[in-house]
Amino acid sequence: MRETLKTNNTLQVVDAIKRNDTITLKRIYANNYPKIEILVLKNNGTKEYAKDIYQEAFLVVWQNVKQDKFIPQNESSINGYLYTIAKNKWMDVLRSQGYKKTIVASQMSYFEIKDEENNGMDDDILKDKRLEDVMHAFKNLGDACKSLLRKFYFEKKSMKNIGKELQLDAASTRNKKYRCMQKLRQIALKNN
């Protein structure tokens, strides 16, 4: 009985993440940020750095859950995973050339992580150049198209409901979506 309940809860979290459920995503975001901020601040970082690497890590976790690359047992295993990825990312920043100039190796003593920990943990989709271009293009897409594509692909609203909101019939909505998509891909290619 208790087992089933637990499985159901796990499924609910995973399902909510896959649906981009705002309440769930916000809860996970807010619950885990303070720990990461402390980690970064203690290790020669600033709040801005903490925010950036935390958000990158969050997107990686979200993507990996969506693609079933990471199958969490429960919400706390999501929290642990998120922490590890953020920590590794911060390690990468500290190791990078730009950062090495400003700090001394001895200041990195808080970290006792081994390199193996890194293996396979953060299969990082964000490092894909093409994806980066698309994201940038979407960021700068006109409001009308951006809002339409957001409703469709992020909020997962049905074609019918989006059509209603725009006061368009199904065929026109689909065509509009297609044209927005073309526009987006054009911008993304230009950036190349």
Partner 1 sequence: MDIKDISQEEFERIEAYLNNSLSKEDLLIFENRLQNEEGFAAKVEDIKTVLTGIETQALKEQLNEFHEDITTQEKETIQFNPKVKSLQWRKIAVAAALIIATGSFWFLNRNSNDQLYTDFYSPDPGLPTTMSSTDNYEFYEAMVSYKQGHYKEALNTWTKQLKTKVENDTLNYFIGSALLADKKESDAISYLKEVANNDDSVFKNDAFYYLGLAYLKNNNKEKAIEYLSKSDFTKAKDLLKKLN
The site for partner 1 (CB under 8 A) is made up of 20, 22, 25-26, 29-30, 33, 51, 55, 58-59, 62-63, 125-126, 128, 130-131, 133-139, 149-150, 153-154, 174-175, 178, 181-182, 184-186, 188-189
Contact between 95 and 43 (Cβ < 8 Å): no
Least separation, in Å, of the C-beta of 38 and partner 1?
A: 13
Measured N-to-C along each axis, helices 75-95 and 22-42 cross at an angle, to the nearest 10 degrees, of 40
Query: What's the closest the beta carbon of residue 135 comes to partner 1, in angstroms?
Result: 4
Closest distance of CB 44 from partner 1, Å: 21
Q: Taking a C-beta distance cutoff of 8 angstroms, is the pair 184, 152 a contact?
A: no
Q: In angstroms, rounded to a whole number, what is the distance separating the alpha carbons of residues 95 and 99?
A: 7
Minimum distance of partner 1 from residue 2's CB (angstroms): 32
Kindly tell me the sign of the dihedral angle through the C-alpha atoms of 101, 95, 128, 134: negative
Give the N- to C-terminal CA distance of the chain in Å, as an integer.
55
Residue closer to partner 1, measured from CB, 51 or 99:
51
Nearer CB in complex with partner 1: 73/182:
182
Nearer Cβ to partner 1, position 92 or 133?
Answer: 133
Neighbours of 99 (CB within 10 A): 14
CB of 68 to partner 1, least distance (A): 13
Indicate the Cα dihedral angle 43, 80, 55, 192, nearest 10°: 100
Judged by beta carbon, residue 91 or residue 188, the one nearer partner 1 is 188
Q: Which is nearer to partner 1, 95 or 136 (CB)?
A: 136
Smallest gap from Cβ 30 to partner 1, in A, equals 5
Length of the chain: 192
Q: Which is nearer to partner 1, 14 or 137 (CB)?
A: 137
Using CA atoms, how far apart are residues 23 and 12, in angstroms rounded to an integer?
Answer: 13
Q: Which residues, at least 6 apart from 19, have a Cβ–Cβ distance to it below 8 Å?
A: 156
